Amino acid sequence: MASIVFGLAERARVPSLIRRHDSTTVLGLFAFVNGVLSIGLMSVAALITGAPFIFPSLGPTAFLLFYTPTLPASSPRNTLGGHAIGAAAGYLSLVIFGLTDNAPALVEGVHLNRVGAAALSLGLTSGLMVWARVPHPPAGATTLIVSLGILTEPTDLLVLMVAVALLVVQAYVINHLAGIRYPRWAPTATG
């Protein structure tokens, strides 16, 4: 019985399915299912805790982790490092421009200090990700979420990072179950 179960599981792995079916169909279905699952789980966590476990840049991160899991930008190191840099740069920009107690830009409008905070946060995030060798494009959205005042409390930023970590854990488990060589930490040499 065990050999039957393991045989079926092996046949259901993404590489096996791609050998038998159109790769676009298989990868699209895999991305669809995991997009629903990952953001659904984060939304339930947000609903239960009242904490911001769901935020806009988590969507493109989930897409990268489940559509292009072997690319360097999808590795756990780049995902966690990129979002940490984005959150820190966004908050630092709020502090520098005196906006930590202001309402979000969507409420109070855009003014010179907000423009400065947004520009500085994206510049810092972009440069620091390159210098630290942890590029993760969705972190550019994370830094703007913070510098535009949508998430401004340090506890919210901690929850944001916990959400990213939970998504990375899910990506590791799901991708490995699906037979995809998702890295443990750093990008693999083969990409």
In a domain, 66, yes or no: yes
Q: How far apart are CA 99 and CA 59, in angstroms?
A: 26
Backbone dihedral angles phi then psi of residue 101, each to the nearest 5 degrees: -105, 5
User: DSSP alpha helices (H): ranges in 101-190?
Assistant: 105-108, 112-132, 139-147, 154-177
Report residue 23's pLDDT band, with 50, 70 and 90 as the boundaries: confident
- Asked if 117 and 147 touch (Cβ cutoff 8 Å), the reply is yes
In a domain, 182, yes or no: no
In a domain, 68, yes or no: yes
| Domain membership of residue 149 as a residue range | 2-177
Q: Report which residue type is found at 124.
A: L
Count of the separate structural domains present in the chain: 1
pLDDT value at position 7?
A: 53
**DSSP one-letter code for 72:** G
Task: Return the structure tokens found at 21.
Answer: 């079916």
> Residue 191 pLDDT more than 80?
no
Q: How far apart are CA 191 and CA 175, in angstroms?
A: 15
Q: For the residues 4-17, what does the mean pLDDT come to?
A: 62
Which carries the bigger pLDDT value, residue 4 or residue 140?
Answer: 140
- CA 80 to each of CA 2, 65, 153: distance values in angstroms, whole numbers, following the listed order: 37, 12, 19
In a domain, 10, yes or no: yes
In a domain, 184, yes or no: no
> Residue 2 pLDDT more than 70?
no
In a domain, 187, yes or no: no
pTM over cut 0.85 = yes
Q: For the residues 44-55, what does the mean pLDDT come to?
A: 92
> Residue 172 pLDDT more than 50?
yes
Q: Residues 6 or more apart from 81 whose CB is under 8 A from it? A: 129, 132, 134, 136
The tens digit of pLDDT for each residue in 75-130 reads: 999 999 999 999 999 999 999 999 999 999 999 999 999 999 999 999 999 999 99
76, 54, 52: which is closest to 64 by C-alpha?
76
User: Tokens 């010179």 — which residue?
Assistant: 112
Q: Residues 6 or more apart from 107 whose CB is under 8 A from it? A: 149
In a domain, 190, yes or no: no
- Asked if 63 and 181 touch (Cβ cutoff 8 Å), the reply is no
Report residue 68's pLDDT band, with 50, 70 and 90 as the boundaries: very high
DSSP 3-state assignment of 109? coil
Report residue 190's pLDDT band, with 50, 70 and 90 as the boundaries: low
Q: How far apart are CA 146 and CA 121, in angstroms?
A: 9
